[in-house]
Structure 1
């Protein structure tokens, strides 16, 4: 099996309906003697209590228990007896943005290295261990973290915790493994970007055009020369620096006993030594004062495409939450203003998509400058200027007509639905993703239960203020794909 980076786009669109069947099948094997296996049969799923209805709107609350081990590892536990499944996620506070200069793509390369064997599990044995016990697994590299997760039958939780601790404690770093994975990553770049129409558009391209700070604007997939230049010493240093427990968060979601899970976590993770972590680099972006426009020739594309991006407000500010609601009004769903204007009314395109942290996550799982971005592929007889004019018209209409309480309430309903979709995504992984992100970035995974209230604080006046500052044309970057393929 080839492990490759899973963008959230892929997670959303993959056929994950097979996961539940796989997990509930309880296909298991006898692990080697050194691998802990309780052998405990999983009981039937606890009955779900009927919802309590009151005159007030029922509030859903995610159980959160949060603590830190002596070595600095952040631990989040969130029991859920809905199904006999457990999800384990380990997030390391290293991503595209803060990888070393002159080693572009190194964070992603190292994600691949984490599947090449550890002290007690040989190459591919981590994958086999999870799959033969009825589970699924994957890893991905994002702006501000690299993550690994497993979804397994609940009675295999201890086994997976042991395995994650084993590779955190000692990855098998060899020249053969490095050379092999350099080739795998270079091939992935060729297949997913260089040899694909619209490859890297806009998720990989736009940050490089819109941002000025190298950390936000370099090629996250990695230049092929930089990937070739990575040495064994680079890999060892990277592992010792960024894959230490004090630079990580461990999340367990699902059907488990918290006290039992704590004992396993203490046993397997507590003795892993911490390491000094370098200070976070300066990620700040200057205020954009002039619209930027760029054109990219695409030898494989047959139709033109356009992407637009606006710099976001700082994370967790009132304007940040306001932008989340403006995203719902302008871009999310078939009732959004841009879908109606570009697809339904004018027929410029068949779809328009995007959002905050589009294609690489969601508006919650990043920790630095970000773009609100939209994109579309359109007919050749439609000019880029006409599309941008529609965008300006819709933003101006919001500003001139204002956003009344009815429209604000609709945006809140859509946001609430989107948030609940995220929390329930992939049998616990969506919930684990938010909990890990808030633990890493805010030291407060319980923020997951405060998000809805933050959006409710947004007023029509705040929305107008946010439009004026963040949706102004001078805060915008436009990227046009010029098709070069002959039909």
Structure 2
């Protein structure tokens, strides 16, 4: 992989995969919904949508249409600490993708009509993915409110579209000017391409975008809540669910401890006699997907007769056992090996790899971590897992209990 930087501050990652026969292009900006002010909750996500409303040389919604016309596909996502725009398309269409991304990095267009159109789209997205979907707020976006106090860490990233209805094109231009300078972005090209030609194309399309000041990275560490529980009535579900959130170590400064929590997390899942389905994750969306603070999440769907206290007590006992005695060697190796296998399986996909490289660079300045991670996991000593369990025992936790709401 080659890393370089243009004169305007744009970081460029070139990661050839000659056998791919396609090319993936992503742009990550270091702004997510934890960067938006409380009075404009949901603005970062709305802005992601607005970046498809055209730019100097591209018409409204034309970006996606031109990518699709090549047989490619693309989209965008807003995360806690970054926003990503991405596409995968035939290798011969690399210059098209670079032109489209450069044009909106240089001069996006914001209009009243575009804002209203995208507000309607965001409202529909919230309706389908949260309000009208069974378990739509479970564990995201409700669990953070049980663990974190500060608005940046606790709010859901969607906001209220009725409150955003007054957003003006001028406010959009201000947000773009502050958070979307080239120096606050990472451009990643991954797949079948010639690195020398790609570098020339990148210089041609991105090199003349003016540099602008880069905002400081927000520090979001806070004093966490103590044993807070939220009950979430849901008329769309017939079985209750329980989610627990614990704070994770900061991977930027405590990566070995973070890895130990990754191995510990699957060891905390509930057995079949307590849950019908159980899962665990480090991070709400992916591991190494957010700056500090981030969350270890345990979830279960359980029988109505199983009390949430029984589920919580099981986790407490399990943490106590692991803290005192560790994991049996075979169980430690099983969890570690499954993590490694899933990492390799997922990142064999070209677009997933491209976006992961950009994410790790924009968050930690370390795209190489994608390929270093399996080796770091293999080097993890078994006695690091008891230390992780003891750390969780001493940590506050947030609890979300989703319960069927029959309207009575």
Normalised by the length of structure 1, the TM-score is 0.80
SS in 1 for 2:189: strand
1:369 aligns with 2:306: no
How far 1:287 moved relative to its partner? Answer: 5.2
Q: Which digits, 9 at most, give the CA deviation of each residue in 1:307-346, with x for residues without a partner? A: 1111111114121111111124334xxxxxx3xx1x2xx1
1:314 aligns with 2:235: no
2:403 maps to 482
1:200 maps to 137
Equivalent residues of 2:147, 2:396 under 8 A apart? no
Q: How does 1:13-412 map to 2 (within 5 A)?
A: 64-286=1-223, 290-316=226-252, 317=254, 318-331=256-269, 338=270, 341=271, 343=272, 346=273, 348-358=274-284, 360=285, 362-412=286-336
1:424 maps to 348
Q: 1:303 to 1:116 in 2, by over 3 A?
A: same
SS in 1 for 2:100: helix
How far 1:461 moved relative to its partner? Answer: 2.4
Could you tell me which runs of 5 or more consecutive residues in structure 2 were left unpaired when the two chains were aligned: none
Equivalent residues of 1:365, 1:433 under 8 A apart? no
1:459 aligns with 2:396: no
Q: Which digits, 9 at most, give the CA deviation of each residue in 1:262-308, with x for residues without a partner? A: 000000001111222322223002255x3222212223333221111
Equivalent residues of 2:240, 2:404 under 8 A apart? yes
Quick one: distance in 2 between partners of 1:382 and 1:309? 20
Q: Which digits, 9 at most, give the CA deviation of each residue in 1:201-233, with x for residues without a partner? A: 111111122111221112311123432232222
How far 1:149 moved relative to its partner? Answer: 0.7
2:367 maps to 445
How far 1:257 moved relative to its partner? Answer: 0.5
SS in 2 for 1:376: strand
Equivalent residues of 2:266, 2:280 under 8 A apart? no
Quick one: distance in 2 between partners of 1:437 and 1:123? 27
Equivalent residues of 1:83, 1:255 under 8 A apart? yes
1:470 maps to 392
Quick one: distance in 1 between partners of 2:391 and 2:141? 25
Deviates more, 1:250-259 or 1:412-421: 412-421
Q: 1:407 to 1:381 in 2, by over 3 A?
A: closer
CA RMSD of aligned residues (A): 1.8
How far 1:416 moved relative to its partner? Answer: 1.1
Aligned length: 406
Q: 1:144 to 1:388 in 2, by over 3 A?
A: same
How far 1:486 moved relative to its partner? Answer: 5.9
1:436 maps to 358
Normalised by the length of structure 2, the TM-score is 0.94
Quick one: distance in 2 between partners of 1:196 and 1:174? 32
How far 1:432 moved relative to its partner? Answer: 1.3
SS in 2 for 1:82: helix
SS in 1 for 2:33: coil
Could you tell me which runs of 5 or more consecutive residues in structure 1 were left unpaired when the two chains were aligned: 1-63, 332-337
Quick one: distance in 2 between partners of 1:460 and 1:349? 28
Quick one: distance in 2 between partners of 1:102 and 1:83? 45
Quick one: distance in 2 between partners of 1:409 and 1:382? 31
How far 1:445 moved relative to its partner? Answer: 1.6
Higher radius of gyration, 1 or 2 = 1
1:4 maps to none
How far 1:165 moved relative to its partner? Answer: 0.6
How far 1:240 moved relative to its partner? Answer: 1.5
